[in-house]
């Protein structure tokens, strides 16, 4: 007689490592998932694989020597970090920057924001299994990299801003190239929407999935497009305008409930707003010097501290600098948006499917080296 197992069947929970080497984790990130079948019970993101110690590096080099570091914190919006760092030091010193330099910095920052969003667009859709959009957006992104390369000399980790201005002036070729790029990008929106936004498979995979609500955002300090996706119009460029953002006319795109779809739409609309900012900035671009006169060779801000927030492509980033009056900073703290955004997944992921995890992870647009610093 066959043995009959009389014990009732129980579901067994098991652990799955997503990463650290997985194409959809965009860097070296490990997410330890506790699974019940295909459903996630617990998610524990494990970070730190790319920790380089930027904050320690700041303690033994001068303000000028630290210049190349910020763009390596978040290499996808490197210009914005480079920009934010010099702004923080300038604020600490009370330095006034010429108008033309401000405009040039904003134009480049917004170009960088578009390139970061385009890369997100491509990789996010590749995570979902769509390969073609990736080729389209990399084609567009290449133009931005060439444009920025022509004035900054680098394609990814820019070090173009200087304390008191920018390294060199932009030329007509750059301005014409930028304007024709914006024209080109606008003609591509239809392609993007036809290819992706109206795709029924895509819609089914992103609607009502991965909700980041306002409550979660408040508890975890989620900022950027992930926050705006749930309908909170919070953008540092509007809330605490720096440079010339208060003189320009642009909107903050917001979503409704905070699912992947909303975050997707917010980012696409943001690219259009960045185009508007660039157009206006180029139109208003004043003539004049590109570097403040009388910037000391030795940058030694007076004793004190400053917290300078700026809007990176992923949310609110900030430099908190403590100065002891010498040319070496006493402490530089870098607040990175992805750190808080990723942490919110501890609450967002449970209850979703493994396949949705990939979509959610892609939709919050993390850069892992930025989290690790």
Stretch that binds other proteins, among 116-124, 184-192, 214-222, 350-358 (CB under 8 A): 214-222
215: CB partners within 8 A, 6+ apart: none
Q: Does 64 bind other proteins (CB under 8 A)?
A: no
Numbers of helices and strands, H then E, in the chain:
15, 8
The C-alpha atoms of residue 148 and residue 109 are separated, in whole angstroms, by 10
**Structural tokens at position 304:** 């004190």
CB 322 within 8 A of CB 331: yes
Stretch that binds other proteins, among 173-181, 234-242, 261-269, 282-290 (CB under 8 A): 234-242
State the nearest-atom distance from the C-beta of 45 to other proteins, in Å: 9
Q: Does 256 bind other proteins (CB under 8 A)?
A: no
Q: Interface mask (CB under 8 A) for other proteins, residues 314-343, using x and -?
A: --x-x-x-xxx-x-x-xx-x-x---xx--x
**Quick one: 44 or 142, whose CB is closer to other proteins?**
44
**Quick one: 120 or 310, whose CB is closer to other proteins?**
310
Q: Does 91 bind other proteins (CB under 8 A)?
A: yes
**Quick one: 171 or 324, whose CB is closer to other proteins?**
324
Stretch that binds other proteins, among 9-17, 22-30, 46-54, 271-279 (CB under 8 A): 46-54
**Structural tokens at position 340:** 């808080």
Helical spans, DSSP H, in the chain: 54-57, 70-73, 78-93, 99-127, 132-152, 172-192, 200-206, 214-220, 225-228, 236-239, 260-284, 337-343, 345-348, 354-363, 368-372
Query: Cα 49 to the chain's mean position, in Å?
Result: 19
**Quick one: 9 or 249, whose CB is closer to other proteins?**
249
Binder of other proteins out of 143, 196, 217, 248 (CB under 8 A): 217
Helical spans, DSSP H, in 230-259: 236-239
Radius of gyration of the chain, Cα coordinates, nearest whole angstrom:
22
CA nearest neighbour of 185 among 247, 127, 270:
270
Q: Does 48 bind other proteins (CB under 8 A)?
A: yes
Q: Does 17 bind other proteins (CB under 8 A)?
A: no
Binder of other proteins out of 51, 186, 193, 198 (CB under 8 A): 51
**Quick one: 155 or 333, whose CB is closer to other proteins?**
333
Binder of other proteins out of 186, 198, 204, 219 (CB under 8 A): 219
Q: Does 305 bind other proteins (CB under 8 A)?
A: yes
Residues facing 186 on adjacent strands: none
Q: Does 121 bind other proteins (CB under 8 A)?
A: no
The C-alpha atoms of residue 55 and residue 57 are separated, in whole angstroms, by 5
Ramachandran region, residue 337 (left: φ > 0; alpha: ψ -120 to 50; beta: rest):
alpha
DSSP state of 193: I
Q: Does 55 bind other proteins (CB under 8 A)?
A: yes
Q: Does 279 bind other proteins (CB under 8 A)?
A: no
Query: Cα 330 to the chain's mean position, in Å?
Result: 27
**Quick one: 106 or 227, whose CB is closer to other proteins?**
227
Stretch that binds other proteins, among 23-31, 48-56, 247-255, 276-284 (CB under 8 A): 48-56
CA nearest neighbour of 258 among 295, 217, 287:
217
Q: Which residues bind other proteins (CB under 8 A)?
A: 47-48, 51, 53, 55-56, 59-60, 91, 94, 217-221, 227, 232, 234, 238-240, 303-309, 316, 318, 320, 322-324, 326, 328, 330-331, 333, 335, 339-340, 343, 346-347, 372-373
């Amino acid at each position: 007689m066959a043995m009959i197992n009389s014990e009732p069947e129980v579901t067994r929970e098991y652990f799955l490592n997503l990463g650290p080497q997985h194409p959809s984790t965009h860097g070296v990130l490990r997410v330890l998932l506790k699974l019940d079948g295909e459903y996630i019970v617990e998610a524990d993101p494990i970070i730190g694989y790319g920790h380089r110690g930027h904050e320690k590096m700041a303690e033994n080099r001068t303000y000028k020597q630290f210049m190349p570091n910020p763009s390596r914190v978040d290499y996808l919006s490197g210009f914005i970090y480079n920009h934010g760092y010099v702004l923080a030091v300038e604020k600490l010193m009370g330095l006034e920057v010429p108008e033309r330099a401000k405009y040039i910095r904003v134009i480049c920052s917004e170009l960088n924001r578009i390139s970061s969003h385009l890369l997100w667009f491509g990789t996010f859709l590749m995570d979902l299994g769509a390969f073609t959009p990736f080729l389209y957006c990399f084609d567009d992104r290449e133009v931005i990299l060439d444009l920025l390369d022509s004035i900054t000399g680098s394609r990814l980790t820019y070090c173009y801003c200087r304390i008191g201005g920018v390294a060199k002036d932009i030329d007509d070729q750059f301005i014409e190239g930028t304007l024709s790029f914006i024209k080109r990008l606008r003609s591509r929106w239809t392609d993007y929407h036809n290819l992706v936004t109206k795709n029924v498979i895509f819609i089914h995979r992103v609607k009502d999935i991965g909700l980041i609500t306002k409550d979660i955002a408040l508890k975890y300090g989620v900022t950027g497009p992930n926050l705006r996706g749930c309908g909170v119009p919070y953008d540092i460029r509007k809330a605490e305008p720096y440079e010339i953002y208060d003189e320009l006319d642009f909107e903050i795109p917001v979503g409704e409930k905070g699912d992947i779809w909303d975050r997707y739409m917010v980012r696409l609309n943001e690219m259009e707003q960045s185009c508007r900012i660039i157009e206006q900035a180029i139109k208003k671009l004043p003539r004049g010097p590109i570097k403040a006169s009388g910037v000391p060779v030795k940058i030694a801000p007076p004793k004190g501290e400053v917290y300078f927030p700026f809007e990176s492509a992923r949310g609110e980033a900030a430099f908190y600098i403590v100065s002891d009056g010498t040319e070496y900073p006493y402490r530089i703290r870098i607040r990175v948006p992805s750190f808080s955004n990723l942490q919110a997944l501890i609450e967002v992921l449970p209850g979703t499917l493994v396949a949705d995890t990939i979509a959610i992870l892609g939709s919050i647009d993390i850069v892992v080296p930025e989290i690790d610093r």
